[in-house]
Amino acid sequence: MVIAKVLGNLWATKKDDRLQGYKLLVVQTKESNTPRTFVAVDTIGAGIGEDVLIVRGTMTRGMLKDYDSPIDAAVVGIIDSVEVDEALLK
């Protein structure tokens, strides 16, 4: 899993039929040196500006029980807070 921020919504009127019914979000990882922006399927109703947990890769299709879909990232949690001991980051 990775931590990301929801930047916005994505709408596509023409898309693969296997994406029908999925809400798509534009998210950006919280990695400080190389943040990545990508599209993730919203499974829980996340909103713009929220910090979220993302799963990526093959496990995403398994979680959705949609093994033939072209989905490789999904929002699986909305983060309320994060506590990190800064001394351990060195």
What pLDDT score was predicted for residue 33? Answer: 81
Query: Around Cβ 78, how many Cβ atoms within 10 Å?
Result: 14
Span 16-57, pLDDT tens digits: 888 888 899 999 998 778 889 999 999 899 999 999 999 988
89, HSE (Cβ side, Cα atoms, 13 Å): 5
CB distance 32 to 63 below 8 Å? no
Contacts of 63 (CB under 8 A, 6+ apart): 43, 55, 74, 76
Instruction: Set out the domains of the chain in order of their start, with CATH numbers.
Output: 2-81 (2.40.50.220)
Q: What is the pTM of this model?
A: 0.85
* Structure tokens, 80: 């309320």
